[in-house]
Structure 1
Amino acid sequence: MKSSPTSLRPRTAFTLVELLVVIAIIGVLVGLLLPAVQAAREAARRMSCGNNLKQLGLAVHNYHSAYNKLPMHGGGTWVDGAAIGSNQSNRMDLSIWVGLTPFFEQQALWEQIVNPSVNSSGTPSLWPAMGPETTASNYKPWTTEIPTLRCPSDPGTGLPAMGRTNYAACLGDSIHYMDLGLLGIDADATLTLANASTHAAETRAACRGAFVSHQATAFRDILDGLANTVICGEITTDLGDRNIRTLAAVGNDSGSEMVRDEPDLCLHEGLVDSNRPQFWATGSPPTLAPSDQGRGYRWASSGAAYTAINMVLPPNRELCFGGATADSHGIASVSSQHQGGAHVLMGDGAVRFVTDSIEAGDVHHSNVWLGGTGESAPGSRSPYGLWGALGTRAGQETESFEP
């Protein structure tokens, strides 16, 4: 008996068992590949972040070629007798990024800043040239998000921040006078030149970084060599989660110890949550900066929490400030959302990734300052090892960064 043509037709469908096996295999492959894909995405974001910093380094060099000096940290305008909040000037509170805007493809923004403009929402009727105080939230340039100043790995966005930045200027290896600088002022104070010689002496002794508040510096001042000196670094912005890297504990000079003399004061005083060491403990202390004073929250301001770093504690350590506000003086290291470290920009334009485990000397050692003694006396070697040496411009230290 002959078989019918239908019985000889090959089977074309999957069985239920075969289908389940294929689904299981696909699930396993997805489970194996997903971490690799996520790692590749983070690697791409990290590379993009480094490229941003590289572009900023080129901007710094082009600025120096044009003006034979570096942009001033804490530069800008001042009107004698003008009350805080009058917005008649920016009270010499501009970050280095303001002057650099035309050098990293932000010419249109620079034109808005450098020219007076109409203020239709308050007093004064005209915004002054170079802008008002950096707290003026209705001045559009100060609230502009600039892509070159943002790290793709940082998810922070929106209020209460104004215009965020993930990059900051290096002020050296001491917190003393980091906010006051040559003129002895900050954005919340009244300008006085009565103690000009004292301010100059304090600044010369303690402010040893590539940038100095309210004082012009140049590449010729970096005697340790551009390749051996950090000029800028990466910071992560505050996400509103009480992270020790992004929201400063303030007012810590009120006790018997000062942050200048005990850099890890906030840690050994128990202000960090012992169960969650990346976050501040609840309750008081610690006294934390206001929610609108988070790390990197104002790209245009020279305040320490916003656009400054110092090389005292190693990367991703706590923000511990002696003053009452986040734009005063305190420990402000580099930080990032990358795993294990953060980027820094060297004076020669090279971008390096520094790990959290970099050799940082004695983190309990007092900063170098005018009143320091022994190894804290003016002119001393940085107490903070390789990390501190990379932050000083003229310490005559031969240490160099090894990847």
Structure 2
Amino acid sequence: MASQHSSRFTLGFTLVELLVVISIIGVLVGLLLPAVQAAREAARRMSCSNNVKQIGLGLHNYHSTHHQLPIHGVGPTNENTNSTSLADKKDGSAFTRLELTYLVGLLPFIEQQALWEQMSEPMQESDGDIWPAFGPRPWNGNYPPWATEISTFRCPSDPGRGVPALGRTNYAACTGDGFYDAEHGVTVWNGSRWLYNRDPTAKKRARCGLRGAFVPRKSLKFRDFLDGLSNTIAVGEIMTGLGDRDKRSVGFSNAKGGFFKVANNPKRCFELGYIDVARPQFWTSSAKVYGAVSERGYRWADFHTLQSQFNTILAPNSEICLVGHSDTYGIAPASSRHQGGVHVLMADGAVKFITDSIEAGNSNSPCVYCRALSSGTNSVVPEGSKSPYGLWGALGTRASRESVSTDF
């Protein structure tokens, strides 16, 4: 009878044992989750590096085909007017105002031939909008190509998606260790016509202060890289805005004292005291920032500084400090959503990961500039000087004769 009675008992876990097992599983999940997240970010970072590599291959294939790099600040325009409102018209008479990025020219070389062919022909939409070849200026989101997301131009670690942006980009042209006059480059509107690399003042300003792989509205060749292709950054990462007042993705627009205040002290915006002490990656709530449609990387086809340029003045992931409105020039560092640094493309096609701690010289040193504004003032840092921004600045210049003898 005793044996029959004992056989009725079923084996199982006590409540305490179950709680212990659940606790152990919870601990294991807690330990495993960060490793999974880190593995995913490593995969995203590798994918981002591959995108940069594809852009590098595209640049070299473009140069092999056209014997120059794609121009940053290009496109069909109206030779009789520079009006922004006329450039946006939907009746087929719009024009680009020479505002298209180097990325537009790269399209056929990064397996985007279909989009290139769509842009290369006039377009009439079902709603009645009519667009010329290569469309209106790249602010206009009604033109379908400007609102197209191109995966090769996006870093998978950047979560930015959708409006108020158009098609975003995370890969910007390097204009060097200066910024004057990146808004116009060598080709300017003189009030009645375009002067294509013929205005002496514009040429002087660009030669003096725009020392990078790309000079807006100017044709450059690899032979112009006297510092060596392997020592010159061509393209770098930028993060796109999330509408969260991040100092790396949204511009600071409080009165800053004009061009000379920023050009003579790149840390001007930081020193004004509008960085949030509790969250040092963000502007304070009292800082006036650009509007919702004007954040970093919002328009892949727009050549202006905030959208698709960066300079090697302040170290990666430093604050943006433009001189005026969102389409003007200023301090525009590289940035990314990766931990600790950014990807850059060297002009020889190599992809490097540059850390935020790279040696960046004197951040309070004036930039190199010549004949600035109507006063024609020159910087105290002479034209042709080695970069005052250390190794980082030297990597941004194509022909300033700096020697790069350390690993980076």
State the TM-score, normalizing by the size of structure 1.
Answer: 0.92
1:48 match: secondary structure:
helix
Among residues 93, 98, 104, which one is paired with 1:92 in the alignment?
A: 98
> Residues 61, 41 of structure 1: CA spacing in aligned structure 2 closer, same or farther, 3 A cutoff?
same
Mean CA deviation greater in 5-14 or 261-270: 5-14
State the match for 2:30 in structure 1. Answer: 31
Query: Aligned residue pairs: how many?
Result: 395
Structure 1 distance, partners of 2:357, 2:296, is 22
311-320 vs 270-279, greater mean Cα deviation: 270-279
Task: Quote the Cα distance in structure 1 between the aligned partners of 2:406 and 2:62.
Answer: 25
Alignment of 1:68-147 (within 5 A): 68-82=67-81, 83-87=83-87, 88-121=94-127, 126-147=130-151
Per-residue deviation, 1:34: 0.9
Deviation readout 1:147-192 (Å, 9 max, x if unpaired): 1111111111111100011110000000111121101359xx8755
C-alpha displacement of 1:112? 1.1
Query: Per-residue deviation at 1:90?
Result: 0.3
Aligned equivalents of 2:261 and 2:212: distance in 1? 21
What 5-or-longer segments of structure 1 have no aligned partner? none
* Cα separation, 2, equivalents of 1:394 and 1:147: 33
Tell me, which stretches of 5 or more residues in structure 2 are unaligned?
A: 88-93, 372-376
Confirm or deny that 1:329 pairs with 2:333: no
Give yes or no for the alignment of 1:381 onto 2:381.
Answer: no
Aligned CA distance change for structure 1 residues 322 and 273 (closer, same or farther; 3 Å): same
Determine the structure 1 residue equivalent to 2:16. 17
Partner of 1:170: 174
Check if 1:293 corresponds to 2:299. Answer: no
**Alignment partner, residue 53 of structure 2:** 54
User: CA offset at residue 255 of structure 1?
Assistant: 4.8
The residue type equivalent to 1:353 in the other structure is F
Among 184, 197, 201, the alignment partner of 1:198 is: 201
TM-score, length of structure 2 as denominator length: 0.91
Identical positions, percent: 51
Kindly indicate whether the alpha-carbon contact (under 8 Å) linking 1:227 and 1:400 is maintained by their aligned counterparts in 2: no
- 2:374 matched to which residue of 1? none
Q: Is the 8 A contact 2:185 2:202 kept in 1?
A: yes
Distance in 2 (alpha carbons) for counterparts of 1:217 and 1:196: 17
Which deviations, in whole Å up to 9, do the C-alpha atoms of 1:181-208 show, x marking residues without a partner? 101359xx87553981111111111110
How far apart, CA to CA, are the structure 1 residues paired with 2:189 and 2:13?
78
Shifted more, 150-159 versus 13-22: the winner is 13-22
The equivalent of 2:91 in structure 1 is none
User: 3-state SS of the aligned residue for 2:236?
Assistant: strand
Q: Does the alignment pair 1:402 with 2:407? A: yes
**In 2, distance between residues paired with 1:203 and 1:387?**
20
| 1-structure distance, mates of 2:67, 2:356 | 34
Aligned to 2:42: 43
C-alpha distance in structure 2 between counterparts of 1:162 and 1:142, whole Å: 6
Structure-1 residue corresponding to 2:365: 365
Deviating above 3 A after TM superposition, structure 1's stretches of 4 or more consecutive aligned residues are 2-12, 119-122, 189-195, 250-257, 371-375
**Amino acid in the other structure paired with 1:111:** E
Residues 347 and 6 from structure 1, CA distance in 2 versus in 1: closer, same or farther, beyond 3 angstroms?
A: farther
Paired residue secondary structure (2:84): coil
d(CA) in 2 for partners of 1:291, 1:401: 41
| 1:86 match: secondary structure | helix
Q: Which residue of 1 aligns with 2:263?
A: 260
Match of 2:250 among 221, 237, 247: 247
- In structure 2, the CA distance between the partners of 1:374 and 1:146, relative to structure 1 (3 Å rule), is closer
The Cα shift of 1:77 comes to 1.6
